[in-house]
């Protein structure tokens, strides 16, 4: 009888554990990781686990066809650009279909889209659509009423045969419109609120490698004429943060800066203070399946100094903090819920991530795990200057993964901000950050010298006075001895 009770109690405890928070590793069909100081991938608990998948059929609007973009407005309304069906599906905050935009009235006539590729919703809830095959950007109200159209620009800096083919669009708080267009290598096209073309921002220059230069120097004139020109790279997508900085991605396999943060002047001000470049995977196969560097096709600013970039090459998501540290990466290709076929867009809905998969024709929703929630909270608190709170949260993160170097760095940086330099040195050493350790050490050394300055100076002055007194006494004794010798003689 006693044995039966014990077994019953064990079964109850097992059942209670099973209905709690699921194990991240058991619920995720992928491995999460980051890169350590030595460039090795370091496994992590999954920061997100797949929660559900939305399809056109489940939403009651028919199957998606080549969906190309997605955007979540400030009021949590979700807009899905179903490119193949030339329509925009609008979901309410509960992810139920509110309405569908297929047509609009233009000069009294019915008008629509042709293979649109990008959309964005401004702070005014105005919908900007990159109507690609029509060569224009259409601006609509949230109900689908036409506000204005940005057509092919006219400018002296544009070639006479320029064809306007917008792919992606982003808008800032001043209604400046940033358009990524096909075949435009000069940068991101910029328009004002009057539809006037203002020029380019954020040109990406490409420099030939040493091998390319050597080969060109040895080539004949005919071979040089056939060589590919070293033209700048096209941008692939963009997002904008609350401060008006444009986060842009470019598909450039030879670059260490495929992600850029552009200020109003077009300068790249993205911080890259982490162990490795902000470029996704730093180790990868050169040939075969899943070979080559990451190719970012979308980016989303998450807040708290964090942003996530979507790698179309290996179908993974890379999340960084504002200093360029890779917090975690996860994802992959496959048929299970949570892995992708052809991911094209990433968005944030509340505390969840949403990834639009054009290949599977669905939207996968991810919910944060305990690990992911703590990392985000700690990163946000540090970004907002609440370092005492950040230290406590990073300590909780280390309880889940003691090998997470970013947590040691986070604690060290927070302690450094609190001027606890000695303790910060310990965590920077654990986090393998020589640069930050040197900063903490210099501050700690200055702090010790300042504290001991009075004692040190007292000892030094005492020694100086004692030395002077000794020399004076010695000199006096020597003179007395000389006088005695003179008197005796």
Per-residue pLDDT tens for 31-65? 999 999 999 999 999 999 999 999 999 999 999 99
Residue predicted with more confidence, 202 or 105: 105
Assigned token pair, 418? 């609190």
What percent of the chain is modeled with pLDDT above 70? 87
pLDDT given for residue 132 in this prediction: 97
pLDDT given for residue 467 in this prediction: 87
Alpha carbon distance 338, 354 (integer Å): 10
pLDDT given for residue 435 in this prediction: 83
Contact predicate 375/301, CB 8 Å = no
Contact predicate 276/323, CB 8 Å = no
pLDDT band at 13; cut points 50, 70, 90: very low
Tens digits of residue pLDDT in 167-194: 999 999 999 999 999 988 889 999 999 9
pLDDT given for residue 444 in this prediction: 77
pLDDT band at 218; cut points 50, 70, 90: low
Tens digits of residue pLDDT in 347-397: 999 999 999 999 999 999 999 999 999 999 999 999 999 988 999 999 999
Contact predicate 404/396, CB 8 Å = no
Can you list the alpha helix ranges (DSSP code H) found in 43-149?
Answer: 56-59
Any idea how long the chain is? 489
What does the pLDDT average to over 216-240? Answer: 65
Q: How many CB atoms lie within 10 A of CB 386?
A: 15
Tens digits of residue pLDDT in 113-129: 999 999 999 999 999 99
Ramachandran quadrant class, 334 (left: phi over 0; alpha: psi -120 to 50; beta: rest): left
Q: Which residues contact 361 (CB under 8 A, 6 or more apart)?
A: 55, 56, 63, 64, 65, 67
CA atoms within 13 A on the CB side of 443: 18
**Stretch (H or E) spanning 454:** helix 434-488
Q: Which residues pair with 179 in a beta bridge?
A: 169, 189
- Three-state DSSP class for residue 323: coil
pLDDT band at 296; cut points 50, 70, 90: very high
Residue predicted with more confidence, 219 or 363: 363
Tens digits of residue pLDDT in 414-459: 888 888 888 888 888 888 888 888 888 888 788 777 777 677 778 8
pLDDT given for residue 376 in this prediction: 97
Alpha carbon distance 402, 31 (integer Å): 17
Nearest C-alpha neighbor of 363 from the set 52, 2, 48? 52
Tens digits of residue pLDDT in 307-338: 999 999 999 999 999 999 999 999 999 999 99
pLDDT given for residue 32 in this prediction: 96
* DSSP calls for 25-41: HHH-SS-EEEE-TTS-E
Alpha carbon distance 182, 190 (integer Å): 14
Residue 461 has pLDDT above 80, yes or no: yes
Residue 9 has pLDDT above 50, yes or no: no
Residue 14 has pLDDT above 50, yes or no: no
Residue 8 has pLDDT above 80, yes or no: no
């Amino acid at each position: 009888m006693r044995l039966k009770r014990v077994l019953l109690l064990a079964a109850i405890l097992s059942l209670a554990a099973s209905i709690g928070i699921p194990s991240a590793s058991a619920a995720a069909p992928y491995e999460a990781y980051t890169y350590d100081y030595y460039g090795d991938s370091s496994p992590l608990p999954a920061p997100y686990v797949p929660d559900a998948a939305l399809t056109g059929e489940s939403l009651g609007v028919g199957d998606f066809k080549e969906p190309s973009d997605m955007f979540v407005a400030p009021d949590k309304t979700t807009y899905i650009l179903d490119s193949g069906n030339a329509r925009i599906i609008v979901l309410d905050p509960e992810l139920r279909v509110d309405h569908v935009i297929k047509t609009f009235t233009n000069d009294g006539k019915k008008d629509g889209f042709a293979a649109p590729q990008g959309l964005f919703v401004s702070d005014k809830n105005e919908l900007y659509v990159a109507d690609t095959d029509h060569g224009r950007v259409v601006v609509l109200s949230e109900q689908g009423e036409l506000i204005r159209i940005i057509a092919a620009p006219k400018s002296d800096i544009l070639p006479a045969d320029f064809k306007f083919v917008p792919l992606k669009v982003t808008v800032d708080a001043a209604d400046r419109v940033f358009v990524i267009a096909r075949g435009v290598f000069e940068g991101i096209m910029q328009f004002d609120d009057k539809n006037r073309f203002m020029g380019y921002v954020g040109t990406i220059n490409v420099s030939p490698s040493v091998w390319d230069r050597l080969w060109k120097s040895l080539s004949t004139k005919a071979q040089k004429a056939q060589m590919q020109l070293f033209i700048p790279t096209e941008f692939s997508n963009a997002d904008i943060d609350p401060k008006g900085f444009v986060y842009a991605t470019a598909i450039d396999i030879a670059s260490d800066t495929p992600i850029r943060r552009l200020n109003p002047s077009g300068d790249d001000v993205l911080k890259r203070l982490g162990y490795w470049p902000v470029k996704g995977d730093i180790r990868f196969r050169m040939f075969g399946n899943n070979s080559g560097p990451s190719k970012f096709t979308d980016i989303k600013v998450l807040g708290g100094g964090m942003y996530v970039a979507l790698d179309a090459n290996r179908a993974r998501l890379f999340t960084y903090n504002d200093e360029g540290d890779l917090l975690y990466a996860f994802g992959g290709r496959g048929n299970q819920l949570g892995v992708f076929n052809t991911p094209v867009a990433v968005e944030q809905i509340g505390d969840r991530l949403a990834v639009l998969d054009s290949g599977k024709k669905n939207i996968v929703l991810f919910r944060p795990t305990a690990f992911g929630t703590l990392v985000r909270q700690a990163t946000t608190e540090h970004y907002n200057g609440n370092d005492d709170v950040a230290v406590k949260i990073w300590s909780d993160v280390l309880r889940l993964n003691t090998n997470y170097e970013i947590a040691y760095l986070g604690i060290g940086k927070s302690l450094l901000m609190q001027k606890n330099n000695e303790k910060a040195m310990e965590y920077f050493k654990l986090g393998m950050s020589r640069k930050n350790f040197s900063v903490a050490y210099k501050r700690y050394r200055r702090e010790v010298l300042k504290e001991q300055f009075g004692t040190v100076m007292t000892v030094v002055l005492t020694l100086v006075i004692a030395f002077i007194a000794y020399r004076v006494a010695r000199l006096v004794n020597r003179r007395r001895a000389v006088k005695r010798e003179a008197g005796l003689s």
